[in-house]
Amino acid sequence: MKSAQSAPASSFKPAADELDLTAVTWTKPTGSGGNNACFEWGSAGEYIVWRDSHNPQIVLVYTQDEVRFLLDAVRAGELDHLIG
């Protein structure tokens, strides 16, 4: 199933080590139970950052448009086949 929206145009996005991650308030999903088996997210300026709680030194950087497209796809059920 294809999304009705097209992917965002490619643009410059900083690497995680170029952002001030010390100011990020990391949030975990409420269903994680505090067992460090989940991902965390936060915002660093205009970017959204995600990390795995098992490997917090590896941080992924996304634009707001990228996250918006992902959430739209999830809401539309476009990733359901990945979970079985």
Q: For the segment 6-39, what is each residue's pLDDT rounded down to a tens digit?
A: 545 556 899 999 999 999 999 988 877 666 568 8
First-last CA distance in the chain = 16
Chain-centroid distance, C-alpha 53: 13
Is residue 52, in this structure, part of any structural domain at all? yes
Is residue 2, in this structure, part of any structural domain at all? no
- Beta strands 39-44; 47-52: pairing state: antiparallel
Q: 47 burial class (0-12, 13-18, 19+ CB within 10 angstroms)?
A: buried
What is the extent of the structural domain holding 72? Answer: 36-84
Is residue 68, in this structure, part of any structural domain at all? yes
> DSSP assignment, residue 8?
P
Is residue 27, in this structure, part of any structural domain at all? no
Query: Global pTM?
Result: 0.77
Question: What number is the average pLDDT over the span 44-54?
Answer: 94
- What's the structural domain count of the chain? 1
- pLDDT higher than threshold 60 for residue 69: yes
